[in-house]
Structure 1
Amino acid sequence: MKNRYPFFLSFFLLAVAVGFAQGSSEYTGGMKVKLNEDGSKYFRIISWAQFWAQHSDNESLNSFGNEESDLNFSMRRARVLMYAQVSDKFLILTHFGLNSQNANNLNPVGESDSSQLFFHDVWGQWSLSNNHAVGGGLHYWNGISRLNNQSTLNMLTLDNNRQSWATIGLSDQFARHMGVYFKGKFDRLQYRVAINEALTNGLDVNGIPAIDDATYNGREILGSKDAGKNYAGYFDYHFLDQESNFLPYKVGSYLGGKEVFNIGAGFFYHPNGSVSLDDNNDFQGEDVAIFAVDAFYDAPVGDKGAAITAYATYQNNDYGTNFTLGQTYETGSMLYGHVGYVLPRENTNLKIQPYLSLSSRSIDAIDDNATRYGIGGNLYLSGHNSKISLEYSNQKYGNLDAVGTLTLQAMIYL
């Protein structure tokens, strides 16, 4: 580690000391406003912000050849979510905010793309029965895995495993698709399935197809008739306590508040989503197919507030022949897992949770692997509503040098 790392460690220890001193209690975030006397009609507003201080040993230069700072600050997320239950049959949700705003993409008068608030979710839902519903709009009822449906309010690790958001910016807008979904449960089996439009202006919109290299811009090149729709689903069986599927956002850690053991499986299928060239240099569509299986466990341990959270997944990614984009999306496979443990304490209002994460990816395009591990901890001052996280991660991609990053996060969720 470089010489600035002790600054982060000192700051984290200071935060621990402050947390012990204040001993704040846990509470449920959000503001609920009743629209009738019995509260059956209401709306709720939730707001959260995540601020990062990050040090990386990946040295880089600016366009003038001068060295860039290895210590940077950013607003990882700033969000507002509101949903309204106007009757027992109808729900509407809106969710907007900013992501990854930093000194390089700030604008003097707040007019750049990165400075603008945008809608993450806007969808309405109609109940078909007590256990089943249909909805439509810009939605987050995703397929593939639990992590592709991850809430950003209550993650165990510093952030979600990036490759688990497997379609973000390729066929969707920030992990949300425009489409129609069905969700519900049969006893202990929960499901969510969706038919969606694919994004035209995706991250690979300027990709150039080749005979042995596919690009993910099928809708733009082949047209929406042949490459416009995609299909997704996720199914999980709940062996112990059943989780809520009222909203699509999966909980990262219950901190021992539930005893949960689920196994799941999911998919994403986009016919002709990618494009390559045939032997005559004509465009040919290639189907994008991603599937995963996973398991999630969260339970209290003993009677002093200790708890364990564990998750593991295998994901197979077929984005087309030798597809790769930005060391993030590749045709290949992935194994990922994490585990965290809330330390036992007499004062259970304040929680300390060390954790470890590990991922290994095979990458067809470079005939090599990528690995990443993260080791860190969460200090919960008031559950997920107020926490401080510190994580060191190390990522190795193919034959490139490994890059280590230390990140300190302060989060408030109201």
Structure 2
Amino acid sequence: MKNHIIRDICFCWFALFATPVFSQSDSLKKNSDDIGSLKINFDPSGQKYMQIGIWNQTWLRYIDNNPGTLVNGEPERGTYDAGIRRMRISTLAQLSPKFLMFYQIGFNNQTFISGGGSGTGAQGNGKKATVFFHDAYGEYTLIPELDTETKKKNNFSLYLGAGLHSWNGVSRLTNASSSKMLTADLPVYNFPTIEISDQMSRQFGVFVHGSYKKFTYRMNVNKPFATNNEPKIGNTAVDNNKGDVSFAGYYSYQFFETESQKTPFLAGTYLGSKKILNIGAGFYSTKNGTKTQPSEGVYENHDIRVLGIDIFSELPLTDDTYLSIYSVYYNYQFGPNYLRTTALLNPGTADPAYTGQTALEGAGNGRVLLGTGSIWHTQFAYMLPRFSKSVQIQPYVTYARKSMEALNETGNYYDFGTNFYFVGHNAKVSLQYSSRPLYDTETKTVFKHAGEVLIAMQFFL
């Protein structure tokens, strides 16, 4: 009998205090349709809770393939494809006013032909994508942003955490939210060590973050993932680190409204619900991160240093229109002639029988990502006046200018798109056209441009 009573008391307690509610950020105003995320309170005050986020981003594309591309063994100049760019499940647990836990799992970049498990044949290269932890860290409150007794905001706040985390340095975009993006996708070069010495932009380490009045800061000391590429003879650096730790930081001043620092992720747009003007600067550095072989048997190590400076502004014009502007300048130092290419959800492989002009970016939708040199990235958007209760429309444009030491010509990259918000960020569709230059393998100059049409659909709770 006693066990039944204890069971019933526990059930009633959970029913009373662990009631799921849809929580919306205090910053969201009536002109935003965003319904927020699922929040489960564990006490009447709401100081102990768990917040759950679930989202999926599906891509439909037409790709102008780079010259000499095979898709499933057949030459193709252009490819239609479908895939999942991201799938995530995140949990943030506030155990007490002093302790917080954050975990995020999911998978990335699965298409009809790539991004799946290791099986082949009947299983298929595109099937059964690997799910893994993106974030896994705990955080301790040293000085809270809001005093727990007086409920007044402190001038200074300080939080300390450790684990697999993404409290990154360099720029706002290096700390970007992937569920509240302005554009159909992030440009990827905002993550300078992506999938090389980090795991999906995360590293293991210790971090601090907080604010002093309008000034915010985040800093970390991390252990980069090991790299061991061996350089060829010549003056081209490759990733080969020597076990040194990395240091990173990002600092910003917020002139108007302030942004939440509950998680490391910063929104690409608040859908006009905030008046924002922020300037920021940051860095990432690690010793002996790359390696060259200037002559046979002679090796040199090189430090990695990345600097960023940016500005972000979101200015409401009327109740339902606003401007969003972001611009960032990156300076990358990875060692002599370091160059990296990427190909998101790439459907193609190189055709060994192809004899025409080839691109150094490789097959499929490969492009130059980053390298020793600089990138200037700018994006601009305008929310159109609302003419319907069911949808908001937001055209945008982005431009990136890449000047890489290993190339003999500056590259110009463009995206033209439109967002259709049906339920804020919770249900939206983005239509985007992108243009990328292709570099000749021998001359390292641009010989043509290739395009890509993308429909990105996001559902987020």
Corresponding residue number in structure 1 for 2:459: 412
What's the secondary structure of 2:263's corresponding residue? coil
**Other-structure match for 2:309:** 293
Paired amino acid for 1:408: I
Q: 86, 95, 105: which is aligned to 1:86?
A: 95
Question: What one-letter code is carried by the residue in structure 2 that aligns with 1:217?
Answer: N
In 1, Cα distance between the equivalents of 2:71 and 2:124? 23
Which of 341, 349, 352 does residue 393 from structure 2 map onto? Answer: 352
Partner of 1:213: 236
Q: Matches of 1:172 and 1:137 in 2, distance apart?
A: 13
Determine if contact 2:309/2:330 at 8 Å carries over to the other structure: yes
SS at match of 2:163: strand
Q: How does 1:250-261 map to 2 (within 5 A)?
A: 250-261=266-277
Asked if the contact 1:211/1:281 (under 8 Å) is kept, the reply is no
Give the Cα–Cα distance (whole angstroms) in 1 for the partners of residues 266 and 424 of structure 2.
Answer: 16
Cα drift, residue 377 of structure 1: 0.3
Alignment of 1:90-109 (within 5 A): 90-105=99-114, 106-107=116-117
In structure 1, what is the Cα distance between the partners aligned to 2:77 and 2:93?
A: 46
- 1:277, 1:37 → 2: CA distance? 64
Read off the aligned partner of 1:345 and give its amino acid letter. R
The alpha-carbon deviation at position 347 of structure 1 amounts to 4.3
Verify: 1:325 aligned to 2:319, yes or no: no
1:49-198 to 2 correspondences below 5 Å: 49-58=56-65, 60-62=69-71, 64-67=73-76, 70-105=79-114, 106-107=116-117, 115-130=129-144, 131-198=157-224
Structure 1 range deviating more: 291-300 or 347-356: 347-356
Q: Deviations over 1:301-333 (max 9, x none)?
A: 123x00110000111011111101222231110
The equivalent of 1:36 in structure 2 is 43
Answer yes or no: is 1:314 the counterpart of 2:299.
no
Structure 2 partner of 1:335: 376
Q: Is the 8 A contact 1:25 1:349 kept in 2?
A: no
**Residue pairs, 1:220-239, within 5 angstroms:** 224=243, 228-239=244-255
Q: In the alignment, what sits opposite 2:17?
A: none
Q: 1:63 to 1:97 in 2, by over 3 A?
A: closer
Supply the distance in 1 between the matched residues of 2:71 and 2:50 (Cα, whole angstroms): 47
Structure 2 spans left out of the alignment, 5+ residues: 1-30, 145-156, 342-367, 439-444
Higher mean alpha-carbon deviation, 326-335 vs 385-394, is at 326-335
TM-score after normalising by structure 1: 0.87
Match of 2:429 in 1: 388
Post-superposition shift, 1:67? 3.0
Task: Name the SS of the counterpart of 1:148 in structure 2.
Answer: helix
TM-score (norm 2): 0.79
| Preserved CA contact (<8 Å) 1:300 1:306 | yes
Cα deviation for residue 282 of structure 1 reads: 2.6
Deviation at 1:61, TM superposition (A): 1.9
Q: Is the 8 A contact 1:261 1:295 kept in 2?
A: yes
Kindly state the Cα deviation for residue 297 of structure 1 after the two structures are TM-superposed.
0.2
1:83 Cα deviation from its structure 2 partner: 0.8
Structure 2 Cα separation of the partners of residues 394 and 80 of structure 1: 32
- The match for 2:450 is 403
**2:410 aligned partner:** 369
**Contact 2:204/2:223 (CA < 8 Å) preserved in 1?**
yes
Write 1 or 2 for the structure with the bigger share of helix.
1
Q: Which moved more, 1:33-42 or 1:335-344?
A: 33-42
Offset, 1:212: 1.1
2:299 to 278, 283, 289: 283
Q: Could you tell me the percent identity over the aligned residues?
A: 32
2: CA distance, partners of 1:114 / 1:314 = 38
Residue 216 of structure 1: how far off its partner (Å): 1.3
Task: Work out the CA distance in 1 between the residues paired with 2:340 and 2:387.
Answer: 48
Give the RMSD, CA atoms, in angstroms. 2.1
Q: What is the alpha-carbon distance in structure 1 between the residues aligned to residue 250 and residue 273 of structure 2?
A: 24
Aligned-partner Cα distance in 2 for 1:288–1:25:
42
How far 1:172 moved relative to its partner?
Answer: 0.6
Distance 1:125 1:317, change over 3 A: same
Structure 1, gaps ≥5 residues long = 1-23
Distance in 2 between residues matched to 1:112 and 1:63, nearest whole Å: 11
Supply the AA of the counterpart residue of 1:145: S
CA spacing shift, 1:300–1:83, aligned 2, 3 Å: same
Aligned partner of 1:396: which letter?
A: P
Partner Cα distance (2:424, 2:448) in 1: 37
Task: Please give the alpha-carbon distance, in whole angstroms, between the structure 2 residues aligned to 1:274 and 1:310.
Answer: 35
Deviation track 1:198-232 (CA, whole Å, cap 9, x = no partner) reads 1114xxx434254411111123xxxx2xxx31111
Aligned residues: 380
3-state DSSP of counterpart to 1:250? coil
Distance 1:359 1:143, change over 3 A: same
Larger Rg: 2
Q: Is the 1:209–1:275 contact (alpha carbons within 8 Å) kept by the matching residues of 2?
A: no
Separation (CA, whole Å) in 2 of partners of 1:57 and 1:152: 25
